[in-house]
Amino acid sequence: MKSIMIIYNQAHSTLVQQALDKCDVRGFTKWVDVQGRGSDKGEPHYGTHAWPSINMAIMAIVEPEILTILLSELKEINSSAEKHGLRAFVWEAESAI
Amino acid sequence: MKIYESSVKKPVTTALIFVAIVVLGLFSFSKLSVDLYPKIELNAATVMTTYSGASAMDIEQNVTKRLETSLSTVSDLKRISSTSKDNVSLITVEFEYGTNMDEAVNDIRAVLDMQRNFLPDDCESPVVLKFSSDMMPIAFISAHAGVSSEGLYKILDEKVANPLNRIDGVASTSISGAPQREIQISADPQKMEAYKLSIEQLSNLISMENRNIPAGSIDVGSNTYSVRVDGEFKESEEIQNLIVGSYQGKNIYMKDVATIKDTLKERSTEIYTNGERGATIVVQKQSGANVVEIADKINAALPGIQKSLPPDVKLEMVLDTSEFIKDSISSLTETVLLAGLFVMIVVLFFLGRWRATFIIILTIPVSLVAAFIYLMVTGNTLNIISLSSLSIAIGMVVDDAIVVLENITTHIERGSKPKDAAIYATNEVAVAVIASTLTIISVFFPLTMVSGLAGIMFKQLGWIVTIIISISVLAALTLTPMLSSIMLKADPKRSKAFQYFYSPIERMLDGLDRAYASALKWCVNNRFKVMGGALVLFLVSLVLVAKVGTDFFPASDNSQIGVTVELPVGSRVEQARKLNTYLFEMWKKKYPEVEILQASLGQSDGSNVFMSLRTSGSHIITYTAKLSKPENRKRDIFDISDEMRKDLSATPEVYRYTVTPGGSSGMGMGSGGTTLEMDVLGYNFEDAESVAKQVSDIMKKTEGLRDVKLSREDYMPQFKVEFDRDKLAMNGITMTSAATVVRNRINGIITTKFREEGEEYDIVVRNDQKYRTTVDDINNILIFNTQGKAVRLSELGNVVENFAPPSIEHLDRERVIKVTGSVYKRSLGDIATDVNTAVAKIDMPPLITASVSGAVEEQQESFADMFTLLALVILLTYIVMASQFESFRDPFIIMFSLPFAFTGVFVALWLTGTTLSLIALIGAVMLVGIVVKNGIVLIDYINLNKERGASVKRSVISGGKSRLRPVIMTTATTILGMVPMAMGIGAGSEIWQPMGIAIIGGLTLSTLLTLIVIPTIYTSFHAGDIKRKRKAWAKKINELKAV
């Protein structure tokens, strides 16, 4: 089992939701109004006057075979509008209750 | 959930809410009545007291003075003015604007009730007349007759006035010019003396003979009968055979001592329509009724009424006020539609997308329609103020939608789904949109609180624009994102044909962006040159302030001219008739534009309040000329009036004259010309007269003044009966009874009325006409004392011939002579200054003062109000901006665009030769809100760039470049929305033209300069920001190091 954290511009919210549904990912946790900025050239997302955009974050625990499909879906979303910004980070989920 | 989020997620609800608003609005629109102006409750009431037979002096001393003194205790009083003339005292009590007139009139009534007992006995009870614009006659119908002219009054009363009165909304109809029936008993004083009879005895006798008395009821068997004595005359001839007494055993009949005539009243108004004698029916509407609707109904009813009349009686609509209203409203509707079209073209031009244009344009009807709901709910009418407000607002309602839509498009172009883009893009600009709307509201909302005449005019404007703009921001935050989420596409495909037309425009706009960026670059590097240049421009424009004249209200052409012609005082009515025919023949040929010329001459019969308020007399002729529509003629009413003045000066019989373009029907507001009035105050007749003559000489010499005249007319010859009190006392006669006797012989006595077919006619007893022609006739009047002994008047006193002023005017209880002149093609403000400087040089006798009043005074008051308003508006917008930027400095920078707005106003007024009127000033006040809006858009984005870490100069240049299009676009929609108004096409449009011109001029110049000067000033103010930050940082580090 892998844990995936998707942090994305809230403008992508519908698309990300659709991707999760498409890959049959049932369980997830979502944070709205998340702030941050990209390490390389990504714009800040602060929800302020200067940087009005804001992020959302979703964490889900998925099976590895689903993960690859999900990642490719997410990649497609990101490339559709690179300026908005979408990042996904994956790490091992060791155990669950 | 935020409002725009829920509206995007619930498109059906959102759409239906706006559908509901539109439906309600259209429903209200269909119910709204149409009128020229909002309901104006004039702040004045008139107290009219008739005292038949009294001269102006008597009226002044016995009636006016007494009433004035007590009326001046009424609260909220502004001023009190009066005219005392023969037979009537007219006191006008003027209140502060906004006073509750119902209460004020009640106060007046209370005072009058108290004074009632102190007034002379024969004086009738004072009548309080309250005026409002509702009372202005809405139609004049002229009637002329051939053989039926003797009975014209009765025919018109029964067959025309009554049916018209039954029309819904008609309050009253009155007939003038048709003399009423009267039964005259003309006594022969010599025969009366022989039989030892007096006028009073005859009169009492007739009154006693002419009575119906119910005598109770009696029971006869099982029935009850009422008993009546019907003594009233059935025929007027019965009076002839009344027995008035007996002499040497023979009966003396009425016909032996008097001639009994069943005839028409002696003195009455004569009315000529296009040279033919006739009568006029004046129609007044009920308060709040729809003029246009009533006029349509009257017009529809007239053919039917015409059929019921004898064939020689012809009716004709002389004045139909609804025509001007209809024309004004339809030309304004055109203006609104044209403005809408212009706005649409601008939006399409800048956006180049049909769908986006549609979304933005949709906010126009949605928000404008809301104004109709407001009008309906508050019981207002659709008038030129409310329609003009729509045309003012139309360019501004799209601004918010443009900003929102622009940001949504940017988001979609970046790759968002339309639905997400709609929500989040709206979220980003919501605060800025609300703030810029608040600046507009902070301009228009204070308009609802303005006092004075301007307040009445602009209250509606303030409310309507505030409501429309509020609805438009609501639509921009809900309807626009909702529609964008549905209608906008990520990659809109443009048709080839469209691309062909649009790509050059796009290239031009891009070029403009680049050119502006490089210009801005030069400016921020040469800041002092730019600011110095701007300062010089502003200072130069101040010179124009002196060049642009000031006026109170712009004059407009309502196709009416009022003319008053006076013959020398005391001329007989026959002279007036002759002159009238001459003038009519001349004017008919010279001015084919005149469609109907109505003349009224002769003494007013006093039966009709409206007519009796006009000055009348056997020597005065009053004309009302109705001209063809303005678009169908070359000369306007002002030119024709000036020509008429020349004609009148060339006519030797004319003693003096006034020509009033726009008609004399009062209510100078917005129709016709203005007048300058100088008041000469002082008790002494001779001194005041000589000063007034000097003032009038000055005014005659002043350029741009016509028809200068004094309000005090020439002295009228009069006979004064001076009784000797000792002689009266010796004969046991009191002054009052002696005076009453004289009055009854000459003026007549009415003690009873003759009734026929439900109508009542006066029975007047007096000396026969031939015994009322010389001084001896007065001297020969017999006065009976209580013992029945007859004494001749000549034994009790003298008849002296002297002169009396025909009318005495008071202002604030002091005698006044008003010197008035009509303004022709020069600004009122300039004329007033010229006249004032010259008048100041006059050597005034003691206790005499001269001062300006009338329109100039109103103008000064309103202008002062406007400047207070301007200060208030500037303060409010500053507060809105300061709270949006959370800074004192940035709004201050934006305020620098205001001086240039005023520069623009003056340049535009000067170029078009328009004067600075109240309307232009309102335009200047509105500019404050519109102009700072551009500054907000610009500074907001520059600040944003700075916050993102760019240097001040870079922020300014790139910020300016990216905001150029929105600024130009919103400005262009506002300016083009005003263009139809500034062009002044159609009836009554002259009124709003100065506002259009002022706003266009101010906005154009200030936008151009805002785009250059504001970024420059901003750079100067913020140049030190980074240095300061660095310094503070270095200081902190040093401090840390020291520790």
Give the pLDDT of residue B38.
76
Beta bridge partners of B621: B565, B601
C-beta atoms of B417 and A15 within 8 A: yes
CA distance A8 to chain B (A): 12
Please state, in angstroms and rounded to a whole number, the distance separating the CA atoms of residues B212 and B232.
Answer: 6
**A83 → closest Cβ in B415, B424, B428:** B415
Quick: pLDDT tens for B228-286. 888 888 888 888 888 888 888 888 888 888 888 887 776 567 788 777 777 888 888 87
> How many CA atoms are closer than 13 Å to the CA of B510, on its beta-carbon side?
6
pLDDT digits over B585-643, tens only? Answer: 888 888 888 888 888 887 655 444 444 455 566 778 888 888 887 777 778 788 888 88
Per-residue pLDDT for B699 more than 90?
A: no
How far does Cα B703 stand from its chain's mean position?
27
Q: What is the CA radius of gyration of chain B?
A: 37
Rounded Cα distance, B224 and B484, in Å: 89
CA distance B962 to chain A (A): 15
3-class DSSP state of B536:
helix
End-to-end Cα distance, chain B:
52
Whole-model pTM above 0.95? no
Which of residues 426 through 465 in chain B touch A, CB cutoff 8 A? Answer: 427-428
Inter-chain touch B420–A82, beta carbons under 8 Å: no
Q: Tell me which chain B residue has its CA closest to the CA of residue A12.
A: B416
Quick check: B1021 pLDDT over 60?
yes
- The pairing of strands B814-823 and B807-811 is antiparallel
Question: How many alpha carbons lie under 13 Å from residue B363 in its C-beta half-sphere?
Answer: 37
Half-sphere exposure of residue B911, counting CA atoms within 13 Å on the CB side? 12
**Cβ–Cβ < 8 Å for B1016, B952:** no
β-strand B782-784 against B759-767: which pairing, if any?
A: unpaired
Of all residues in chain B, the percent with pLDDT exceeding 70 is: 94
Q: Kindly state whether B2 is in contact with chain A, defined as any CB-CB distance less than 8 angstroms.
A: no
First to last CA, chain A: 13
Of B181-195, B440-454, B708-722, B966-980, the one with minimum mean pLDDT is B708-722
Contact A52 B427 (CB under 8 A): yes
Inter-chain residue contact A81 with B415, CB threshold 8 Å: yes
Scanning every residue of chain B, which has its alpha carbon at the shortest distance from the alpha carbon of A45?
Answer: B948
| Residue A54 and residue A11 in contact, taking contact as beta carbons nearer than 8 Å | no
In order of B357, B428, B481, B489, the CA distances from B7 in angstroms are 20, 16, 8, 19
pLDDT digits (tens, 9 = 90+) for B769-798: 788 878 888 888 888 887 778 888 888 888
What is the average pLDDT value for chain B, to the nearest integer?
Answer: 83
B252: left (phi over 0), alpha (psi -120 to 50) or beta: beta
Q: Nearest CA of chain A to the CA of B951: how many Å?
A: 14
Q: Do B947 and A13 touch (CB under 8 A)?
A: no
Whether B947 sits inside 8 A of A81 (CB atoms) is no
Task: Read off the pLDDT band of B876 (50, 70, 90).
Answer: very high
- From A15, which residue of chain B is nearest by alpha-carbon distance? B417
Best residue of A13, A43, A76 to probe chain B, by most B CBs closer than 10 Å: A13
Contacts of B943 in chain A (CB under 8 A): 49-50
Quote the DSSP letter at residue B879. Answer: H
Closest Cα in chain A, distance from residue B447 (Å): 33
Q: Which residue of A8, A46, A53 is the best one to mutate when testing the B interface, meaning the one whose CB has the most B CBs within 10 A? A: A53
Tell me the C-alpha distance between B760 and B232, whole Å: 12
Hey, are the CB atoms on B948 and A49 less than 8 Å from each other? no
CA distance B112 to B399: 58
- CB-based contacts of B340, cutoff 8 Å, min separation 6: B361, B364, B394
What is the reported pLDDT for B45? Answer: 85
ipTM of the complex: 0.80
**Contact residues for B182 (Cβ-Cβ < 8 A; gap 6+):** B263, B264, B265, B266, B761, B762, B763, B764
3-state helix, strand, coil in chain B (%, to 5): 55, 20, 20
Contact B414 A81 (CB under 8 A): yes
Cβ distance B414 to A12 less than 8 Å, yes or no, reads no
Find chain A residues with C-beta within 8 A of B424's C-beta.
10-11, 53-54
Question: So what's the pLDDT on residue B547?
Answer: 76
CA of residue B648 relative to chain centroid, distance: 29
pLDDT of residue B745: 86
CA distance B781 to B190: 10
Would you give the DSSP letter of residue B313?
-
Sign (positive/negative) of CA torsion B434, B435, B436, B440? positive
Residue identified by tokens 């928000």 is B367
**Angle (CA) B514 B519 B525, round 5°:** 130
Which residues in chain A are closer than 8 Å to B490, comparing Cβ atoms?
none
Q: Which comes out higher in pLDDT, residue B664 or B889?
A: B889
Name beta bridge partners: B709: B820
Interface touch A84/B415, C-beta < 8 Å: yes
Query: Which range is least confidently modeled, B246-260, B361-375, B552-566?
Result: B552-566
Nearest to B400, CA basis, from B481, B336, B339: B481
* Chain B CB contacts of A54 below 8 Å: 424
pLDDT, tens only, B151-178: 788 888 888 888 888 888 888 888 877 7
What span, in angstroms and rounded, lies between the C-alpha atoms of B411 and B425? Answer: 7
Phi-psi sector, B514: left (phi>0), alpha (psi -120 to 50), beta = alpha
- Size of the A and B interface in Cβ pairs below 8 Å: 41
Please give the distance of CA B998 from its chain centroid, rounded to a whole number: 22
Which range has the top average pLDDT, B554-558, B874-878, B992-996? B874-878
Give the CA-trace dihedral at B160, B163, B164, B169, to 10 degrees: 170
The DSSP call for residue B242 is: -
Ramachandran angles phi, psi of B198, nearest 5° = -130, 160
pLDDT band at B27 (very low <50, low <70, confident <90, very high): very high
**Residue from B409, B420, B423 whose CB has the most chain A CBs within 10 Å, to mutate:** B420
Query: Looking at the predicted structure, is the pLDDT value of residue B13 above 90?
Result: yes
Q: How far apart are CA B511 and CA B832, in angstroms?
A: 52
> CA nearest B663: which of B675, B655, B673, B648?
B673
As a dihedral over the C-alpha atoms of residue B537, residue B542, residue B544, residue B546, rounded to 10 degrees, the angle is -170
Structure tokens at B765: 């007893």
The answer, for B819 touching chain A at a CB cutoff of 8 Å, is: no
The phi and psi torsions of A87 (rounded to 5 degrees) equal -130, 145
Reply yes or no on whether the pLDDT at B15 is more than 90. Answer: yes
Give the DSSP letter of residue B72. T
CA angle B443, B444, B445 (to 5 degrees): 100
pLDDT tens for each residue of B783-836? 888 777 888 888 888 888 877 667 788 888 888 888 888 777 777 778 888 888
Contact B428 A53 (CB under 8 A): yes
Chain B residues with CB-CB distance to A41 below 8 A: none
Q: Which residues in chain A touch residue B411, judged by CB atoms under 8 angstroms apart? A: 11
Q: How far are the Cα atoms of B486, B636, B671, B834 from residue B559, in angstroms, in the given order?
A: 53, 8, 9, 30
**Per-residue model confidence (pLDDT) at position B607:** 45
Find the CB nearest B416 among A50, A82, A84.
A84
> For residue B351, what are its two tokens?
């956006």
Measured between alpha carbons, how far is B32 from B194 in angstroms, rounded to an integer?
A: 72
Task: Give residue-wise pLDDT tens across range B303-341.
Answer: 888 888 888 888 888 778 788 788 888 888 888 888 888
Q: Of B321-325, B553-557, B1038-1042, where does mean pLDDT reach its minimum?
A: B553-557
Task: Spell out which residues of chain A touch residue B428, defining contact as CB-CB under 8 Å.
Answer: 52-53
Residues B438-461 pLDDT 10s:
888 998 998 888 776 677 778 888
CA B857 to chain A, closest CA, distance in angstroms equals 51
- Nearest-Cα distance to chain B for A11, in Å, is 5
Contact B596, B315 (CB under 8 A): no
pLDDT reported for residue B987: 64
User: Cα separation of B246 and B253, whole Å?
Assistant: 9
Q: Do A11 and B948 touch (CB under 8 A)?
A: no
Three-state secondary-structure class, residue A90: strand
> Smallest CA–CA separation between A85 and chain B, in Å?
10
